[in-house]
Amino acid sequence: MSEPDIDALAARAAELSAALETAGDLVDPAVAARAEHDIAAVAARLELGADRTVVALVGGTGSGKSSLFNAISGLAFADVGELRPTTEVAAACVWGGDAEALLDFMDVSHERRIQRESVLDADRERALRGMVLLDLPDHDSIAVEHAQQVDRLLPLIDLLVWVVDPQKYADSALHDRYLKALARRRENMLVLVNQADTLPPAAGERVRDDVAELLAADGLPGVRVLLTSALEHTGIGEVRKVLGEAVGRPSVAVRTAAAELDAVAARLEPATGRGPGELDDPERATAALSRAAGVEAVAASARSAVAAPAGGAVASPEPPADAAVAAVRDGWLARAQEGLPARWAAAVERAVAPPDRLGAAVAQAVAEVPRPPSRSTTGWRLLIVAGVLTAAAVAYLVVALLAGLGWLAAVGPAVLALVLAVVLVSRSGTVRGRDAQAAAEKYRAEARERTAGVVDELLVRPTAEVLDRHRTLRSALDA
Ligand SMILES: Nc1nc2c(ncn2[C@@H]2O[C@H](COP(=O)(O)OP(=O)(O)OP(=O)(O)O)[C@@H](O)[C@H]2O)c(=O)[nH]1
Ligand SMILES: [Mg+2]
C-alpha cells in the first residue's frame, strides 16, 4: 500500500466524522463520542503538519518520565518528585519554532510549555528540530484523571516512549490496557527501562530481554528497548539518537495518523457490522400483500364472470388478515436486518410501519381500485344479435312456408341467418374469453400497483433511509 499523504488522511478523517454524524444515535453514543474525539485529535495533529513529530513519555508513576524529560532536554523544567504521583498535567518542550495550536488542542497550559532554542548548542540540538516532547502524567496511579489525560492524548502522539522501571515492567495495566491495544503503532514506539542504575551490573541485559519478550507476547515484536538511567544520565545519548532518527522521518506523523484512523475504524466495526446486502425485492412483499387483500380472488372471480355468457358475481377485496401482514413484514425485516448490530436492527424495525398500519393502508389502497366488470358488454351484445337473428330466421321460415314460397326460397335465407347466428355465438365466446382475461389482468395490475405504492412508502423507503446511513458509515470505515 502506498503511503497516504496528509491531505488524503485529512479527507478520510472528515469522511469518518461526517459518517458518524449521519449515523447519529445508531452508533452507541459512548463509542461515537470517543471516535469523534479521536478523529478530531488526528485532524488537529494533521493540521500541525508532517514536519513536526510529537513524542511522549508515558508510563507508570515513579518510573522516571519527568526525570527523563529533563535529561533529554537538558533542562530542569519538569517536576521530579518523591510524592507519587508527581506530574498532574502534561508539560511540553518544543525544539525549534512553536507548536501553539497543537499544545492548545492538547490542553497543555502555557506555563507548562517551553522552547528548546539555544544559540549556544544549536548544532547539538539540530537533529531534534521539529520535535515536541511531552511529559505526561502516569497512567496507573489512583488519580483516574491522569489515565484519562493519557488516553485523550494518545491519538495525537507520533512516537510513544514507554518508560518502565525494572521492578514494574510486567504490570498488567500497562500491557493489557495499552500495549496490546496499540499493536498497530509498534513501528513508532520505544521502550525505556529506566533506573538501570538500581540493577546489578549483569542484570540489565536480562531485564531488557525480558521486556522484549513480553512485548512480543503483546503483539509488539521488534519494538526497540533501551536501558537508561535518568539519574546517572546513562543511555540518554542513545535515546536522543533514536528520537533524532524518528524526527528526521517526515512520515512518522502521517503513519501515526493513518494508524489512529484505522484504530478508530476498527473500534467502530462492532457498532456497525457488515450490514445487509441488498434490500429484499419489494415485488415479493407486494405480491403477498395484494394476495392477502383478496386481489387474486377478485381477479379470478372477474375472469369467470366475464367469461360466462350472462356474466356472474365478482368477489370483493377484503382487509388482509393480521397474521398475513405480520408475516410479510417480518420476512422483510429479517432480510433488511441481516448482519446489522442490535441498534441498527432496532432502527430498521422502528422505521417501517407497524403491522396494523401496513394492513390498513393495503386494504384502503386495494379498495380504491375500480372493481372489474361482471360481464363482457361486447360478448353480451353479440349474443343478443345472435338471438335476434335466430328469432328472425325462425319467423321468416314460418311466414315463408305459410305464404307458400318454395322450400329453397324459404329455407335458404333462414339457414343463412342461423349460420350467421352460430358464428356470432362463437365469436361472443372468444370475445368474452379475451375480455375476461383483460379484466382480470387490468384489475390485478392496478391493485398491485397501488399495493406497491404502499410497500414503497411504508417498507422500502423507511428501510432504505436507515440502510443508507449504514452504508455511508460502512464505506467511511472501509475507505
Ligand atoms: N535511581 C534512579 N532514580 C530515578 C531515576 N529516574 C528517576 N528517578 C527517581 O524516581 C522518582 C520519580 O521520578 P519522576 O521522574 O518524578 O517519575 P515520573 O515517572 O515522572 O512520575 P509521575 O510524575 O508520578 O508519573 C524521583 O525520585 C526520581 O529522582 C533513575 O534513572 N534512577
Ligand atoms: Mg512525572
CA of 61 to the centre of ligand 2 (A): 7
pLDDT above 80: residue 51: no
CATH of domain 52-249: 3.40.50.300
CA of 80 to the centre of ligand 1 (A): 6
pLDDT above 90: residue 118: no
Q: Do residues 149 and 89 make contact, with C-beta atoms less than 8 angstroms apart?
A: yes
Contacts of 301-304 with CB under 8 Å at 24 or more apart are 302/371, 302/372, 302/373, 302/374, 302/436, 302/439, 302/440, 302/443, 303/436, 303/437, 303/439, 303/440, 304/436
Query: Using CB atoms within 10 A of its CB, is residue 270 exposed (0-12), middle (13-18) or buried (19+)?
Result: exposed
Buried b (16+ CB within 10 A) or exposed e, 196-208: bbebeeeebeebb
CA of 65 to the centre of ligand 2 (A): 5
Instruction: Output the residue whose Cα is nearest ligand 1's atom 12.
Output: 62
* 343-376 tens-digit pLDDT: 999 999 999 999 999 999 999 999 999 999 999 9
Among the listed residues 453, 454, 464, the one whose alpha carbon sits nearest the alpha carbon of residue 336: 464
Mean pLDDT across the chain? 91
Q: Do residues 332 and 463 make contact, with C-beta atoms less than 8 angstroms apart?
A: yes
Single pTM value for the model: 0.70
Instruction: Output the residue whose Cα is nearest ligand 1's atom 30.
Output: 195
CA of 71 to the centre of ligand 2 (A): 13
Minimum-distance ligand 1 atom for the alpha carbon of 198: 1
Sheet holding 131-135, edge to edge: 113-115, 91-94, 131-135, 53-59, 159-164, 189-193, 224-227
pLDDT above 50: residue 193: yes
Among the listed residues 155, 156, 162, the one whose alpha carbon sits nearest the alpha carbon of residue 138: 162
Q: Do residues 53 and 246 make contact, with C-beta atoms less than 8 angstroms apart?
A: yes
CA of 69 to the centre of ligand 2 (A): 9
* 248-295 tens-digit pLDDT: 876 788 888 888 899 999 999 998 888 776 788 899 999 999 999 999
- Which ligand is closest in space to the CA of residue 80? 1
Q: Do residues 129 and 117 make contact, with C-beta atoms less than 8 angstroms apart?
A: no
Instruction: Output the residue whose Cα is nearest ligand 1's atom 1.
Output: 195
CA of 66 to the centre of ligand 2 (A): 4
> CATH 3.40.50.300 residue ranges in the chain?
52-249
CA of 232 to the centre of ligand 2 (A): 17
pLDDT above 90: residue 187: no
**Mean pLDDT calculated for residue range 304-332:** 95
Query: Using CB atoms within 10 A of its CB, is residue 237 exposed (0-12), middle (13-18) or buried (19+)?
Result: exposed
Contacts of 150-155 with CB under 8 Å at 24 or more apart are 150/58, 152/37, 152/41, 153/41, 153/56, 153/90, 153/106, 154/182, 155/37, 155/38, 155/41, 155/42, 155/45, 155/260, 155/263, 155/264
For a mutational test of ligand 1's pocket, the pick from 63, 67, 79, i.e. the residue with the most ligand atoms closer than 8 A to its C-beta, is 67
Q: Do residues 374 and 312 make contact, with C-beta atoms less than 8 angstroms apart?
A: yes
Residue 3's pLDDT is 60
**Mean pLDDT calculated for residue range 156-176:** 91
For a mutational test of ligand 1's pocket, the pick from 73, 79, 80, i.e. the residue with the most ligand atoms closer than 8 A to its C-beta, is 80
**Position 1 confidence tier, pLDDT thresholds 50, 70, 90:** very low
Among the listed residues 346, 340, 464, 475, the one whose alpha carbon sits nearest the alpha carbon of residue 18: 475
Beta-bridge mates of residue 134: 56, 92
| Residue ranges in 249-354 assigned as alpha helix (H) | 251-272, 282-292, 295-307, 322-337, 342-351
Q: Mapping DSSP to helix (H, G, I), strand (E, B) and coil, where does residue 91 land?
A: strand
Residue 282's pLDDT is 93
**Position 479 confidence tier, pLDDT thresholds 50, 70, 90:** confident
In whole angstroms, give the CA distance from residue 221 to residue 187.
9
Minimum-distance ligand 1 atom for the alpha carbon of 80: 16
- Which ligand is closest in space to the CA of residue 84? 1
- Which ligand is closest in space to the CA of residue 62? 1
Residue type, 251: S
CA of 85 to the centre of ligand 2 (A): 7
Ligand 1 shell residues, CB under 6 Å: 61-67, 80-82, 84-87, 137-138, 194-195, 197-198, 229-231
Minimum-distance ligand 1 atom for the alpha carbon of 146: 25
Strands 113-115 and 91-94: parallel
Cα 392 to Cα 27, 239, 410, 425, distances in angstroms = 84, 122, 13, 15
Minimum-distance ligand 1 atom for the alpha carbon of 69: 15
Residue 222 cell numbers, joined? 521488534
What's the first-to-final CA gap in the chain, in angstroms? 13
In whole angstroms, give the CA distance from residue 94 to residue 306.
92
Residue 388 cell numbers, joined? 335476434
- Which ligand is closest in space to the CA of residue 150? 1
* 389-445 tens-digit pLDDT: 999 999 999 999 899 888 888 888 899 999 999 999 999 999 999 999 999 999 999
**Mean pLDDT calculated for residue range 66-74:** 96
Cis peptide before 166 (omega within 30 of 0): no
Residue type, 433: G
Q: Mapping DSSP to helix (H, G, I), strand (E, B) and coil, where does residue 225 land?
A: strand
